[in-house]
Amino acid sequence: MPDAVTFMMGKFAAEMPGDLLYAAQNHMWCRAVDGHLRFGFTAYAVRLMQDVYFLDWVVSAGDTVAQLRQIGHIETSKAVADLFAPVAGTIVAFNQELLQDPSTINVDKYGKGWLFDMGGDSRALLDVNRYHQYLADNWDKTQRLIKGKINTDD
Amino acid sequence: MSRNRLTVVLSQAQGKNPAKRALEESIAAALIMEQGLDVSVVPYLYDLDANHTGRLFLESVQGDMVILGWMYPRAAFWLLDRDGIKGHYGENELKPPAALDDDDDDEEGEPEPPKGIGSVDVPDRRIYCLDLRDFNGHEPYIEEVRRIAAECRERREERQREMASPAILQVGIVARAEEPAPFAPETLLQQPGRRWYPVIDYSRCTNCMECIDFCLFGVYGVDNIDRILVENQDNCKRGCPACSRVCPEHAIMFPDYKTPAIAGAPVGNITGLKIDLTKLFGGDVKDALQQAVVERDRELVNDGRSAVGLTVGIPKRQTDKPHGPKDELDKLVDSLDALDI
């Protein structure tokens, strides 16, 4: 198992545990739980979004989704975003507690703040070092995107 | 309804959400106990049409006013302005808890100077709009209403001191204050049907007319001094915010739209302006114009008309074009402009 890795987002250290797989395109972590794949936001995603106010799913447990099909929507103190399926497969369950209080995502992102369980193939996901590499390769572009959004777009 | 009292209007939420109703009721109950306030309750502000008693009541209010409603203050303020219920924007000091947390890392949130065309015929009074989504309890709202009431009282006294002979003028003011006919609560609270239409923030609108070119449903028009106006509100297509996306100044709001930037969140304030991270989370995001074209085509097809895609009313902005030094031909054309022929 690789060691945990830290990615520096400017001054902020985003911690990534070594025992997880990562869906880099979605900034979600993945852990095998009870024969399913459990997904949640990485520290990187949470730092960008900050306090989560509202989380909404547009598909139901039992639905089969293609990879990158939209499955939900999130609103935080700093951002809004649509959410997409990290892999193709069947949604098993959503974390019901988050629907009551989504701030658990901020408090315990790698634990109780998990988002959903789904059945699917995790082979295309990255290990922590490759996710770190992905973040490093895209950090300039990400910063430009965010700054561009703030200045010109919504 | 004397000019020396502060009118406080609570605008109810749409629907029957018990949590929202409970907050409304606790605020109303607490406000009634306060001195010097005229408290009224009307249905959801956005849904009131010109004939609704709630709207007639709002039009009859003359002095300073506080509106508590379930939408962004900017949206509520300009919505009233469009309905002829005008005043100067009263700054409120209510800050939702999240915004306070952010204050220390807020150096990017410099407010920008207004460059819009502004409102016209604005009477000398203030309208304060408070967003009922900011807090779950009534206390912060009551405190803020008290603060506003004190601020309004001070301003009134200041104005009276500035006048040459305050005693006489004061009598004059009292004499002028007309008591409008009372509005019965049952008609005031008659539930209106849902509406959907754009609201223009004239502090940002530059009258560029891109919205009127883009919208093909006859929602926009111009007034008698050629200012853009949301003329036929109910021609608008429910759920469609396309014109808001083509507005270069973020001046068009749909108070009920899901994304804060379109619903009227504060602009230029980093805590209010939310960025869309969809692209970072794996989404294939269209730019605002493409999105607007898709939304407009959908509504055209729903109406049995043909989709027009990018062929009609597309902004021809060239803001990215570098301003090179003027050559002889430019100068010639400029001089023709100056001749006013």
Q: Which of B80-84, B106-110, B162-166, B179-183 has the lowest mean pLDDT?
A: B106-110
Residue B131, in any domain of the structure: yes
CATH number at residue A45: 2.40.50.100
A45 in reach of chain B (CB within 8 A): yes
Integer Cα distance of B99 and B106 in angstroms: 10
Query: Which pLDDT value is given to residue A119?
Result: 96
Integer Cα distance of A143 and B205 in angstroms: 30
**Same domain as B165, residue B140:** yes
**Same domain as B242, residue B131:** no
Query: Which pLDDT value is given to residue B274?
Result: 64
For B52, the token pair is: 């609704």
End-of-domain residue from the set B138, B164, B188: B188
B262-292: burial string, b at 16+ Cβ within 10 Å, e else: bbbbbbbbbbbbbbbbbebbbbebeebbeeb
Whole-number Cα distances in Å, B140 to B73, B77, B146, B148, B268: 16, 20, 10, 12, 25
Residues 279-308, chain B, touching A (beta carbon < 8 A) = 279-284, 287-288
Which of B180-184, B227-231, B294-298, B304-308 reaches the highest mean pLDDT? B227-231
Residue B256, in any domain of the structure: yes
B340 C-beta neighbours (distance < 10 Å), count: 5
Residues 16-35, chain A, touching B (beta carbon < 8 A) = 23, 25-27
Q: Which of A130-144, B109-123, B316-330 has the lowest mean pLDDT?
A: B316-330
Residue of higher predicted confidence among B147 and A154: B147
State the average pLDDT over residues B295-312. 91
Query: Which pLDDT value is given to residue B76?
Result: 97
Which residue does chain A place closest to B273, by CA atoms? A78
B127 in reach of chain A (CB within 8 A): no
Residue A27 distance to chain B (closest CA, Å): 6
The residue segments making up the domain with residue A97 are: 5-152
The chain-wide mean pLDDT, for chain A, equals 90
End-of-domain residue from the set B167, B188, B209: B188
Query: Which pLDDT value is given to residue B29?
Result: 96
Q: Which residues of A touch B98 (CB under 8 A)?
A: 51, 53, 77
A68 in reach of chain B (CB within 8 A): yes
For B143, the token pair is: 């405190």
**Same domain as B184, residue B110:** yes
**Same domain as B179, residue B43:** yes
Residue B88 distance to chain A (closest CA, Å): 27
Integer Cα distance of B197 and B208 in angstroms: 19
**Same domain as B182, residue B290:** no
Number of domains in chain A: 1
Residue B326, in any domain of the structure: no
Residue B310, in any domain of the structure: no
Residue of higher predicted confidence among B88 and B332: B88
Inter-residue contact B183 to B41 (CB < 8 Å): no
Residue B240, in any domain of the structure: yes
**Is pLDDT of B185 > 60?**
yes
Query: Which pLDDT value is given to residue B282?
Result: 80
Q: What is the pLDDT of residues B131-177, one digit of tens each?
A: 999 999 999 999 999 999 999 999 999 888 887 555 554 544 444 44
Of B277, B254, B184, B238, nearest in space to A46 by CA: B277
Reported as a pLDDT band with limits 50, 70 and 90, residue B320 is: low
Reported as a pLDDT band with limits 50, 70 and 90, residue B276 is: confident
Yes or no, beta carbons of A77 and B102 under 8 Å apart: yes
Size of interface A-B (CB pairs under 8 A): 79
Residue B181, in any domain of the structure: yes
Query: Which pLDDT value is given to residue B270?
Result: 36
Inter-residue contact A51 to A106 (CB < 8 Å): yes
Q: What is the pLDDT of residues A121-151, one digit of tens each?
A: 999 999 999 999 999 999 988 887 776 655 4
State the average pLDDT over residues B296-306. 92
Q: Return the HEC string of B180-248.
A: CCCCCHHHHCCCCCCCCCCEECCCCCCCCCHHHHHCCCCCEEECCCCCEEECCHHHCCCCCCHHHHHCC
**pTM tops 0.80:** no
Residue of higher predicted confidence among A6 and A10: A6
Q: Which of A17-21, A24-28, B124-128, B287-291 has the lowest mean pLDDT?
A: B287-291
What share of chain B in percent tops pLDDT 70?
A: 78
Query: Which pLDDT value is given to residue A140?
Result: 87
Query: Which pLDDT value is given to residue B18?
Result: 85
**Same domain as B205, residue B180:** no
**Is pLDDT of B178 > 80?**
no
Residue B262 distance to chain A (closest CA, Å): 8
Reported as a pLDDT band with limits 50, 70 and 90, residue B272 is: very low
The shortest CB-CB distance from A154 to any of B108, B250, B270 is to B250
Which residue does chain A place closest to B249, by CA atoms? A152
Integer Cα distance of B155 and A149 in angstroms: 40
Query: Which pLDDT value is given to residue B321?
Result: 56
**Same domain as B43, residue B23:** yes
Q: Is the dihedral of CA B319, B320, B323, B324 positive or negative?
A: negative
State the average pLDDT over residues A11-37. 95
A144 in reach of chain B (CB within 8 A): no
Residue B302 distance to chain A (closest CA, Å): 23
What share of chain B in percent tops pLDDT 90?
A: 54
Query: Which pLDDT value is given to residue B290?
Result: 84
**Same domain as B149, residue B25:** yes
Q: What is the pLDDT of residues B196-246, one digit of tens each?
A: 999 999 999 999 999 999 999 999 999 999 999 999 999 999 889 999 989
**Same domain as B29, residue B94:** yes
**Same domain as B219, residue B243:** yes
**Same domain as B261, residue B206:** yes
Query: Which pLDDT value is given to residue A58?
Result: 86
Residue of higher predicted confidence among B14 and B100: B14
Residues 255-284, chain B, touching A (beta carbon < 8 A) = 258-262, 270-271, 273-284
Q: Which residues, in sequence order, are bridge partners of residue A23?
A: A28
Number of domains in chain B: 2
Query: Which pLDDT value is given to residue A75?
Result: 84
State the average pLDDT over residues B79-85. 96
For A90, the token pair is: 């069947």
Query: Which pLDDT value is given to residue B159?
Result: 87
End-of-domain residue from the set B188, B207, B242: B188
State the average pLDDT over residues A7-16. 91
First to last CA, chain A: 41
Yes or no, beta carbons of B258 and A73 under 8 Å apart: yes
Residue of higher predicted confidence among B274 and B10: B10
Integer Cα distance of B333 and B326 in angstroms: 10
Which of A52-66, B122-136, B185-199 reaches the highest mean pLDDT? B122-136
Residue B43, in any domain of the structure: yes
Please provide the size of chain A in residues: 154
Helices (H) and strands (E) counted in chain B, each on its own, are 12, 10
The chain-wide mean pLDDT, for chain B, equals 84
Residue B337, in any domain of the structure: no
Reported as a pLDDT band with limits 50, 70 and 90, residue B103 is: very low
Residue B108 distance to chain A (closest CA, Å): 10
Query: Which pLDDT value is given to residue B325?
Result: 66
Residue A125 distance to chain B (closest CA, Å): 14
Q: What is the pLDDT of residues B38-62, one digit of tens each?
A: 999 999 999 999 999 999 999 999 9
The residue segments making up the domain with residue B20 are: 6-188
Residue of higher predicted confidence among B3 and B90: B90
**Same domain as B130, residue B207:** no
Which residue does chain A place closest to B285, by CA atoms? A82
A77 in reach of chain B (CB within 8 A): yes
